[in-house]
Amino acid sequence: MEYKKELRNNPWVDVPCTADVWNLLKEIRVSDTYYRRGDGQATQDLDWVEATHRNWVHEIIDLSEFNYCYFTNGTTDAIHHWLMTETREWQHFQGEYEYPGLIRKGSEVCTGYKEYTLWPHKVLYVSIPSAADGNFCDIKANCPVILDCTYISSTSIKKINPPNSTEQVFFSFSKGFGLVGQRLGLVYTKKPHKSLHTLKEFENWNYNGPKIMELIMSNYDVDTMWKQHRDWQLRMCKKYSLIPSDCFFLATTGDQYYKRRRRMKYNPAARLCLTPLIEW
């Protein structure tokens, strides 16, 4: 009962950390990237990361139409740069990641991502897998789209088909590998980004970040963490009568006991984070 209360009372997603990632990070030294800005070493590292990452995720999402890639300090930083340079109104599904709304209020599509009517003149911010329940979803959109793929690396390989109107795609390394404090993000765009492009020209980003990304992608596949921990997720879901999400540390349930964790008004499923149950 104590664990059930903890699951019910936690409104946030707490990313699990693992011993193997912790040990792997010991191979990184800050001094390894003590570069002089403008000498090209940082750009060489980021170019390698971009090429590797495109291939790393290619079975999930095709990024061939997104010709530009930028490093950001996690997805939150990607959101900063998007909204700071965005002049259009934006919209989001109910249950979506709350952070963009802290910067500038958007219009809520109240029925959730499975039933919706979008405003064609407003930019849609959407996460796939969805922050509402940790599951993949198929989105049809007749408006500009900002696609947040933060949960990739904590799921199996399932295909995401971005709407043709997608303008930017965000990625993070925090969810699958517990790298929250390292702030590791990538942004792909079809056109040069209004702010990130200038920063990239001047090699203005955290040089240690791409080195950590390189280390992770050299040692793990995009679905390694899901494969390693899926059985644990299934055991926990069976024990507590939950429905496993596509993300290995999330689950959903229609149980009234967890009603406060519902994120979508017209969807009875509550999103629960299983991380407090982890004993790794």
Averaged over 95-120, what is the pLDDT?
A: 85
For the segment 200-222, what is each residue's pLDDT rounded down to a tens digit?
A: 999 999 999 999 999 999 999 99
Domain-embedded: residue 1: no
Q: Which residues have a Cβ under 8 Å from the Cβ of 51 and sit 6 or more positions away?
A: none
Domain-embedded: residue 185: yes
Domain-embedded: residue 88: yes
**Are the CB atoms for 251 and 245 separated by under 8 Å?**
yes
Domain-embedded: residue 228: no
Domain-embedded: residue 256: no
Averaged over 172-181, what is the pLDDT?
A: 95
CATH classification of the domain holding 64: 3.40.640.10
Cα 131 to chain centroid distance, Å, stands at 9
The β-bridge partners of 108 are: 92
Averaged over 11-21, what is the pLDDT?
A: 91
Residue the block writes with tokens 């203005």: 204
For residue 61, the enclosing domain spans: 23-219
Of the CA atoms within 13 Å of residue 246, those in its CB half-sphere come to 22
Report residue 278's pLDDT band, with 50, 70 and 90 as the boundaries.
confident
The β-bridge partners of 170 are: 148, 187
Domain-embedded: residue 271: no
In 3D space, the residue among 35, 7, 10 whose CA is nearest the CA of residue 207 turns out to be: 35
Pairing of strands 185-189, 68-72: antiparallel
Number of domains in the chain: 1
Helices of type H across the chain: 2-9, 19-25, 41-56, 74-84, 99-103, 174-177, 196-201, 208-219, 224-240
Domain-embedded: residue 46: yes
Cα Rg of the chain (Å, integer): 19
Instruction: Give the DSSP letter of residue 144.
Output: -
Instruction: Give the DSSP letter of residue 273.
Output: E
Provide, rounded to the nearest whole percent, the portion of the chain with pLDDT above 90: 85
For the segment 109-121, what is each residue's pLDDT rounded down to a tens digit?
A: 866 556 678 999 9
Provide the token pair at 165: 């109107």
Report residue 61's pLDDT band, with 50, 70 and 90 as the boundaries.
very high
Domain-embedded: residue 18: no
